[in-house]
C-alpha cells in the first residue's frame, strides 16, 4: 500500500500530493508523502531536466533535493516522474469509536493514548459541528454528542486487540459515554470514507454558509492538543464565529475550520481577528500553520511569522532556480512586496459581499447551492461529460465556478459559457458523488435560463424548441405519424374515434417511443392488454410533454405545459402511465411547480411490477441471457426508482442478472439527456460508449433500461465501439423483455 491518504484520496493526484507533502489520518503511524518519495525527475525553469534521489535503501550524497522539491508547490520546478516506496498491507486492522459528552475530555484521552506507547494507525476527532457527516455511518442520532474519537490500529492481531482494550481503559478514565471497536473491514471503510468527505459537507451546516479555509490546518505537539481545542472554542465564542474542530489529532493536526455566511460583512469582520488569534495559538504551542494542506496563498500572510529569517533562504533558492518567476508565481509568500500580505488579498467574495442579494442572482436557493460548493473535485468521479473531455469547464466543479462568476457579475453570458452549460446532461451523478450533495442540475438549469434570455442558447437546441412548438414533437414529424407505431387494432380504433371517452388509465407514450423506437409502445400495450387494463390514449393529439423546453431554460415551457395539462385532464383519467423516463420526471416533479395534474403518475416499471405482483401478468417464457440494468437518471437519481426494474428482470425465467460496477445512485449516465444529444451528438455517443463498456466488463449480453432516450443513445454508443470489442451486445427497454416473457 501507499500509506499517505488525504481525505481527498479518491480524487487526489500523486503530483499534487508530492507538491504539498500531503498526508491523512494514517500519518500518525506512517508519516507523510515525503517519507515515501525515493526519487524525482524535475524540469527546471530554464528547461534543464534533473533527477533527484535514488532507489537504493539509503544515500547521504549531496543536498536532499528530493525533499526540497517535495512541498515546493511547483514554485521551483515541474515534477514529471515520481518513484515511490510502498509498504506491505497490514495483516489485521481494527477501528474504535469513543463518544464523549465533553470535547476537552476527548482531547485529554487522545493525549494519553498517543503518549502511552500505543501505535495508532489513525486517530481522528470530530466536534459537534462535524458529526453530522458521519451520522449515517454511525447509524444513530448525533445531536446529543459533543465529540467522537475514531481510532485505528493495524499490524499483528494479538497486538491490535490488546491495544484496543488499552484504548478502552484510557477512554473510560476520561468518562467516555460509549466505547466500542470493530475489525469488520466494511464498517471501518464506511466510517473512514465518511470522515474523508467531511470537509466539503461543512458547507451544509447552515443554508447560505460555506467552509472558509483560513487557519484551518494547525499542527501542534500531541501534548498540546487539549489546550489547542480549548483555545479554538474560546476564540469561536469570543468572536461569534463557527469553528468546526476536527482532524488527525493523533499526529497533532487540528483542523479549525471556519463556516461563514460569505454575504455577511459582519461575519468577515469577526473572522479576521479570530484568524489572527488562531495563528498566535499555533505559534505559542510551538506548532505549525500548515501540517498537511500546504502554503499556497492562504498561509502567505503568516508564513514569515513562523519561518523568520529562513524565509529569505527560501527566496534565494527561488531566485536561483526561477529568476524570471515563471513557476507558480504569487504563491508561498516568496515575492517581496511593499504592502504586507493580508488574508483578504485574494478575496473572491467581494462582489457578493457588496451585493448580498446577488448581482445576477439565480434565485436565493440556487445561489446558496453555488456558494456551498468548495470546488473539492469529488464530482469528477461521476461526471460523464468530464470523463470523455477531461475539461474542467465540462465538469460540475468548473460549471459551479462559472455560475459563481456569472452570479457575482465577473462574467456575462456568452457563446463559450453556453457550450459549458449545454454540454451537461443534468444527470445528477455529480450530486451523489459530492459529499455535500450540491444540486448542480438546478445550478445548470438556472444558468441556462439566463443564457436563453440573453440569446445564447445553441442553434441546435433552439431547433428542438421550434419543432415542439410547431409540430408537437422533438423530431418535427407529422402529428398523425405519432400513432403509426400503435398495434393495428388500436390504431384503427384511434382513427375511427372509437376510443372510450373516459378511462381509468391514460397512456402517455412520449416522443421517442412514438416516433423513433419501434418496439416499446407495442410491447407495453401487449402487456396491458394481457392484464386487462382499462386504458385510453391521446393518439395524434398527444404532444411533447415539454421537458426539452424546461431543460433548455425556455420561457415557453409553462404555457406549453398548461396546454398539455388541459388535454390530460379532459380524459378524466385517474392515473397516467408512461414508458418515457423524461415524461415521468416532467409530470411527477416539474408540472407540480406549475399546477396539480390531479392524477397518479406511473412509469412503466412501477406499473408492470404491480401487475406481475398482483398475478395479472404471467411471465412464463424463458429468456436465457445475461442481462444488466442501466439506471436512467430521470428515474434513478431523480426518484430513487431502483428495485422495481430489477424485481421485474429477476421475475423473468432464465434471466441471469448481473450488476454493473456503477449502479443505482452512482450509475454512469448514458449521455443522452439534458439536450446534449441535440447540442453535441458526438460527445453524447462517446458517453454512451463508456456506459456500454461498463456492461461489457461484467459480461452482459443485454443492456436493459427504462428510458427511451437511454436506449437510443446506448445503441449508438454500442455501434461506436469496434465490433470485435462489443460482440453481439444488445440494448432493450424493459417493456420488451416483459412482452417477450408473456409468450
By residue count, the chain amounts to 743
Helix ranges (H only) for 83-184 are 103-114, 135-138, 157-173
**Proportion of the chain above pLDDT 90, given as a percent:** 76
Phi-psi region of 462 (alpha: psi -120 to 50; beta: other; left: phi over 0): alpha
Strand 575-578 and strand 600-603: the pairing is: parallel
- Gap between the Cα atoms of 96 and 436, Å rounded: 26
Q: What nine digits make up the cell of 74?
A: 511547483
Predicted local confidence at residue 244, as pLDDT: 87
Whether residue 457 contacts residue 409, with contact meaning beta carbons closer than 8 Å, is answered with: no
Can you tell me the mean pLDDT for 706-723? 96
The pLDDT tens digits for 298-330 are 898 999 999 999 999 999 999 999 999 999 999
Residue 122 and residue 164: Cα distance in Å, rounded? 13
For 350-457, CATH number?
Answer: 1.10.1060.10
Q: Could you give the percent of the chain with pLDDT greater than 70? A: 99
DSSP for 139-167 reads TS--TT-SEEEEEEEEESHHHHHHHHHHH
CB 614 within 8 A of CB 608: no
What integer pLDDT is reported at residue 669 of this predicted model? 97
Looking at residue 137, its pLDDT comes to: 63
Residue 79, helix vs strand vs coil: strand
Fold of 613-741: Rossmann fold (3.40.50)
DSSP class of residue 617 equals: S
DSSP string, 672-724: --TTHHHH-HHHHHHHHHHHHHHHHHTT-SEEEES-HHHHHHHHHHHHHS-HH
**3-class SS at 80?**
strand
The answer to whether the beta carbons of residues 192 and 252 sit under 8 Å apart is no
Residue 706 has pLDDT above 90, yes or no: yes
- 537 phi/psi in degrees, rounded to 5: -135, 160
Residue 21 three-state SS = coil
**Is residue 573 a contact partner of residue 506, using CB atoms and an 8 Å limit?**
yes
**Exposed / middle / buried, residue 384 (Cβ in 10 Å: 0-12, 13-18, 19+):** buried
CA distance 384 to 387: 5
Q: Is the pLDDT of residue 75 over 80?
A: yes
**DSSP-based three-state secondary structure for 209:** strand
List where CATH 1.10.1060.10 sits in the chain.
350-457
Place of cell 446532461: 425
Question: Do the Cβ atoms of 460 and 466 come closer than 8 Å?
Answer: no
> Which one is predicted more confidently, 655 or 143?
655
> How is the chain split among helix, strand and coil, in percent rounded to 5?
45, 15, 40
CA atoms within 13 A on the CB side of 703: 33
- All cell numbers assigned to 70: 517535495
Position with higher pLDDT, 484 vs 137: 484
d(CA 667, CA 629): 10
First to last CA, the chain: 54
> Which of 318, 310, 249, 313 has its CA nearest to residue 100?
249
Distances (CA, A) of 175 to 78, 145, 154, 250: 51, 13, 25, 19
| Calpha distance 315→464 (Å, rounded) | 59
Considering the chain, tell me which residue range(s) the CATH 3.40.50.11810 domain(s) occupy. 613-741
The predicted-structure confidence for 16-28, as pLDDT tens digits, reads as follows 999 999 998 899 9
Look-up: residue for cell 441535440? 678
Distance CA 641, CA 633 (A): 10
Q: Where in the chain is the domain with CATH 3.40.462.10?
A: 92-264
Q: What CA–CA distance (Å, rounded) separates 470 from 464?
A: 10
Residue 611 to residue 439: CA distance in whole angstroms: 35
Number of Cβ atoms within 10 Å of the Cβ of 658: 15
The listed CATH number (3.40.50.2300, 3.30.450.90, 1.10.1740.10, 3.40.462.10) that belongs to domain 92-264: 3.40.462.10
- Flag whether pLDDT at 7 surpasses 90: no
Concatenate the DSSP letters of all residues of 636-682 into one string.
HHHH---HHHHHHHHHSTT-EE---SS-GGGPPP-S--TTHHHH-HH
pLDDT in tens, 505-558: 999 999 999 999 989 999 999 999 999 998 999 999 999 999 999 999 999 999
**pLDDT at position 103 over 90:** no
Query: What is the SS3 assignment for 542?
Result: coil
Helix (H) or strand (E) holding 578: strand 575-578
> What crossing angle do the helices spanning 157-173 and 103-114 adopt, rounded to 10°?
140
Q: Binning pLDDT at 50, 70 and 90, where does residue 138 land?
A: low
- Output the pLDDT for position 616: 95
How, if at all, do strands 147-155 and 92-100 pair? antiparallel
The per-residue pLDDT for 187 is 84
The CATH class that applies to domain 14-84 reads alpha beta
Taking only the tens place, the pLDDT of each residue in 328-367 is 999 999 998 888 888 888 888 888 888 887 788 999 999 9
Question: What is residue 559's three-state secondary structure?
Answer: helix
H helices of 133-288, in order, are: 135-138, 157-173, 185-196, 198-201, 225-239, 265-284
Place of cell 508561498: 332
Task: Please tell me whether residue 481 adopts helix, strand or coil conformation.
Answer: helix
pLDDT digits (tens, 9 = 90+) for 572-628: 999 999 999 999 999 999 999 999 999 999 999 999 999 999 999 999 999 999 999
Supply 565's cell numbers: 395539462
Q: Confirm if 709 and 425 have CB atoms less than 8 A apart.
A: no
CATH 3.30.465.10 domain span(s) along the chain: 14-84
Pairing of strands 78-84, 37-43: antiparallel
Contact 649, 617 (CB under 8 A): no
- Alpha carbons within 13 angstroms on the beta-carbon side of residue 297 total 11
Q: Which long-range contacts (CB under 8 A, 24 or more apart) does 490-493 make?
A: 490/525, 490/537
Please write the tens of the pLDDT for every residue from 413-469: 999 999 999 999 999 999 999 988 999 999 999 999 999 999 999 999 999 999 999
- What average pLDDT does the chain have? 92
Mean pLDDT of 494-502: 76
H or E, element range at 535 = strand 535-537
468-611 CATH fold: Rossmann fold (3.40.50)
Q: Tell me, what's the pLDDT at 133?
A: 65
Distance CA(68)–CA(79), nearest Å, equals 12
- Give me Rg for the CA atoms of the chain: 30
3-state secondary structure of 204: helix
The three grid cell numbers given for residue 400, joined into one nine-digit string: 459551479
- Which of 43-47, 250-254, 649-653, 677-681 is predicted with the least confidence, judged by mean pLDDT? 250-254
Segment among 4-18, 163-177, 595-609, 622-636 with least mean pLDDT: 4-18
Q: Are 611 and 590 in contact (CB under 8 A)?
A: no
Amino acid at each position: 500500500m501507499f500509506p499517505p491518504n488525504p481525505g481527498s484520496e479518491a480524487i487526489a493526484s500523486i503530483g499534487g500530493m508530492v507538491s504539498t507533502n500531503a498526508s491523512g489520518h494514517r500519518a500518525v503511524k506512517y508519516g507523510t508523502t515525503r517519507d515515501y518519495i525515493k526519487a524525482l525527475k524535475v524540469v527546471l525553469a530554464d528547461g534543464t531536466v534533473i533527477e533527484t534521489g535514488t532507489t537504493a535503501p539509503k544515500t547521504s550524497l549531496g543536498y536532499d533535493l528530493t525533499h526540497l522539491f517535495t512541498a515546493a508547490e511547483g514554485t521551483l520546478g515541474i515534477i514529471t516522474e515520481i518513484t515511490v516506496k510502498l509498504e506491505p498491507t497490514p495483516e489485521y486492522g481494527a477501528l474504535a469509536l469513543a463518544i464523549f459528552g465533553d470535547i476537552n475530555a476527548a482531547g485529554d484521552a487522545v493525549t494519553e493514548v498517543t503518549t502511552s506507547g500505543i501505535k495508532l494507525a489513525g486517530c481522528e476527532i470530530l466536534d459537534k459541528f462535524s458529526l453530522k457527516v458521519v451520522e449515517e455511518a454511525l447509524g444513530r442520532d448525533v445531536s446529543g454528542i459533543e465529540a467522537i474519537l475514531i481510532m485505528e490500529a493495524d499490524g499483528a492481531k494479538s497486538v491490535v486487540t490488546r491495544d484496543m482494550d488499552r484504548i478502552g481503559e484510557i477512554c473510560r478514565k476520561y468518562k467516555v459515554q460509549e466505547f466500542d471497536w470493530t475489525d469488520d473491514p466494511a464498517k471501518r471503510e464506511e466510517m473512514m470514507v465518511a470522515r474523508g468527505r467531511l470537509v466539503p459537507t461543512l458547507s451544509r451546516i447552515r443554508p447560505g454558509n460555506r467552509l472558509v479555509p483560513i487557519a484551518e490546518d494547525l499542527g501542534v505537539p500531541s501534548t498540546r492538543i487539549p489546550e489547542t481545542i480549548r483555545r479554538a472554542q474560546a476564540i469561536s465564542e469570543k468572536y461569534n464565529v463557527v469553528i468546526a474542530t476536527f482532524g488527525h489529532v493523533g499526529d497533532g493536526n487540528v483542523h479549525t475550520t471556519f463556516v461563514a455566511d460569505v454575504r455577511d460583512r459582519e461575519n468577515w469582520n469577526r473572522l479576521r481577528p479570530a484568524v489572527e488569534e488562531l495563528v498566535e495559538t499555533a505559534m505559542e504551542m510551538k506548532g505549525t500553520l500548515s501540517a498537511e494542506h500546504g502554503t499556497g496563498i492562504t498561509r502567505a500572510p503568516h508564513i514569515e511569522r513562523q519561518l523568520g529569517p529562513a524565509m529569505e533562504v527560501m527566496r534565494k533558492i527561488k531566485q536561483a532556480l526561477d529568476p524570471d518567476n515563471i513557476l507558480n508565481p504569487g504563491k508561498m509568500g516568496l515575492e517581496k512586496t511593499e504592502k504586507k500580505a493580508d488574508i483578504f488579498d485574494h478575496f473572491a467574495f467581494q462582489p457578493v459581499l457588496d451585493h448580498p442579494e446577488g448581482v445576477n442572482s439565480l434565485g436565493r436557493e440556487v445561489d446558496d447551492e453555488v456558494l456551498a460548493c468548495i470546488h473539492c473535485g469529488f464530482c469528477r468521479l461521476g461526471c460523464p461529460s468530464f470523463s470523455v473531455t477531461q475539461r474542467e469547464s465540462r465538469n460540475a466543479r468548473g460549471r459551479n465556478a462559472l455560475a459563481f462568476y456569472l452570479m457575482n457579475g465577473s462574467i456575462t453570458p456568452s457563446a463559450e459559457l453556453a457550450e459549458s452549460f449545454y454540454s451537461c446532461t443534468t444527470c445528477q451523478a455529480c450530486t451523489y458523488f459530492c459529499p455535500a450533495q450540491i444540486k448542480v442540475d438546478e445550478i445548470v438549469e438556472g444558468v441556462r435560463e439566463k443564457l436563453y434570455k440573453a440569446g445564447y442558447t445553441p442553434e441546435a437546441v433552439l431547433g428542438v424548441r421550434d419543432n415542439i412548438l410547431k409540430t408537437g414533437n422533438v423530431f418535427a414529424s407529422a402529428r398523425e405519424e405519432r400513432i403509426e407505431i400503435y398495434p393495428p387494432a388500436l390504431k384503427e380504433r384511434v382513427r375511427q374515434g372509437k376510443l372510450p371517452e373516459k378511462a381509468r388509465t391514460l397512456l402517455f407514450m412520449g416522443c421517442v417511443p412514438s416516433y423513433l423506437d419501434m418496439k416499446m409502445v407495442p410491447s407495453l400495450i401487449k402487456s396491458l392488454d394481457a392484464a386487462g387494463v382499462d386504458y385510453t390514449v391521446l393518439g395524434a393529439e398527444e404532444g411533447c410533454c415539454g421537458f426539452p423546453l424546461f431543460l433548455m431554460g425556455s420561457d415557453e415551457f409553462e404555457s406549453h405545459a398548461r396546454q398539455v395539462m388541459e388535454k390530460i385532464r379532459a380524459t378524466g383519467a385517474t392515473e397516467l402511465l408512461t414508458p418515457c423516463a423524461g415524461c415521468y420526471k416532467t409530470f411527477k416533479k416539474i408540472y407540480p411547480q406549475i399546477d396539480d395534474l390531479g392524477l397518479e403518475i406511473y412509469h412503466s416499471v412501477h406499473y408492470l411490477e404491480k401487475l406481475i405482483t398482483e398475478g395479472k401478468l404471467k411471465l412464463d417464457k424463458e429468456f436465457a441471457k445475461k442481462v444488466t440494468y442501466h439506471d436512467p437518471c430521470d428515474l434513478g437519481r431523480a426518484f430513487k426508482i431502483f428495485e422495481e426494474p430489477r424485481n421485474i428482470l429477476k421475475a423473468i425465467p432464465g434471466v441471469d442478472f448481473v450488476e454493473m460496477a456503477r449502479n443505482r445512485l452512482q450509475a454512469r449516465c448514458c449521455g443522452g439527456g439534458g439536450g446534449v444529444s441535440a447540442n453535441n451528438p458526438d460527445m453524447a455517443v462517446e458517453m454512451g460508449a463508456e456506459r456500454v463498456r461498463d456492461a461489457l466488463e461484467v459480461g452482459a449480453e443485454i443492456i436493459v433500461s427504462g428510458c427511451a432516450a437511454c436506449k437510443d443513445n446506448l445503441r449508438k454508443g454500442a455501434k461506436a465501439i469496434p465490433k470485435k470489442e462489443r460482440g453481439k451486445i444488445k440494448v432493450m427497454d424493459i417493456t420488451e423483455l416483459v412482452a417477450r416473457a408473456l409468450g
